[in-house]
Amino acid sequence: AQKITQTQPGMFVQEKEAVTLDCTYDTSDPSYGLFWYKQPSSGEMIFLIYQGSYDQQNATEGRYSLNFQKARKSANLVISASQLGDSAMYFCAMRAVFGNEKLTFGTGTRLTIIP
Amino acid sequence: GAGVSQSPSNKVTEKGKDVELRCDPISGHTALYWYRQSLGQGLEFLIYFQGNSAPDKSGLPSDRFSAERTGGSVSTLTIQRTQQEDSAVYLCASSPRTLGTSEAFFGQGTRLTVV
């Protein structure tokens, strides 16, 4: 079974600062993918970044980067130079590459950017 | 269509009535997911389809909930004898089957209110 844990229910960060959102996971699958989604107050789910378990390098997408530490089973999202529009719920998710491709989500972190 | 389409966008029903929620995934996407999200909460997994079969329906909360998918495309989530605790946003997502490495694309959701 897969489990995603996000231990920060809420975070407040000053505009223009960097922020790290924590995500740890547990799985018995040897190959898997990790995803981060953003959900603004409008409710839409926006895909941000993907990391494969066998990728050698940490994923980056613009201001988003993923600090992937496989041995520690963590996949933290780093947002650089935060903006007011980054205020939203952030969800970490994972899915096995083979077999049951159920997509499992964590409970989310509500990020608020302070001007 | 261009994205995942869900209908209706809003549904108000009386307690005890049956409801059907529809999801039209992105053309060619073989994986389809249903989630439930209560206000301010995370995404609760309900069921996952690969083609027309459901390898994982472990999240369906009771036998009042059922889902089907036909033609490897449209899916319907049915809730029988609705209860007030069924009130939530029901989200559908689809994904191409690319060995689990592709992100899931979400619809806008159906907001269900049971009165």
pLDDT at B5 over 80: yes
Taking only the tens place, the pLDDT of each residue in A1-29 is 889 999 999 999 999 999 999 999 999 99
Does B105 sit within 8 Å of A47, measured CB to CB? yes
- The predicted pLDDT at position B3 comes to 94
A 50-69 → B contacts, CB under 8 A:
50, 52
Q: What is the mean pLDDT of residues B68-89?
A: 96
Q: Which residues of A touch B108 (CB under 8 A)?
A: 43-44
pLDDT at B98 over 80: no
Mean pLDDT (chain B) is: 93
Q: Which residues of B touch A108 (CB under 8 A)?
A: 41-42
- The predicted pLDDT at position A61 comes to 96
CB of A101 within 8 Å of a chain B CB? The answer is yes
Does A100 sit within 8 Å of B56, measured CB to CB? yes
Q: How far apart (Å, rounded) are the C-alpha atoms in residues A77 and A45?
A: 16
- The predicted pLDDT at position A99 comes to 79
pLDDT at B99 over 90: no
Residues B35-61, buried b or exposed e (16+ Cβ, 10 A)?
bbbeeeebbbbbbbbbeeebebbebbe
- Tens-digit pLDDT string for chain A (115 aa): 889 999 999 999 999 999 999 999 999 999 999 999 999 999 999 999 999 999 989 999 999 999 999 999 999 999 999 999 999 999 999 998 887 888 999 999 999 999 9
CB of A30 within 8 Å of a chain B CB? The answer is no
Taking only the tens place, the pLDDT of each residue in B17-31 is 999 999 999 999 999
Residues B40, B103 contacting (CB under 8 angstroms)? no
- The predicted pLDDT at position A47 comes to 95
Q: Smallest Cα–Cα separation from A93: which of A56, A41, A39, A40?
A: A39
| Backbone angle region of A54, left / alpha / beta, with phi > 0 → left and psi within -120 to 50 → alpha | alpha
Confidence label for B100 from pLDDT (cuts 50, 70 and 90): low
- The predicted pLDDT at position A101 comes to 83
Q: What is the mean pLDDT of residues B59-76?
A: 95
Does A95 sit within 8 Å of B100, measured CB to CB? yes
Q: Give me the residue from A33, A37, A45 closest to B100, CB to CB.
A: A33
Q: Locate the chain B residue with the closest alpha carbon to A109.
A: B42
Q: How far apart (Å, rounded) are the C-alpha atoms in residues A30 and A9?
A: 29
Q: Which residues of A touch B106 (CB under 8 A)?
A: 37, 44-45
Does B97 sit within 8 Å of A101, measured CB to CB? yes
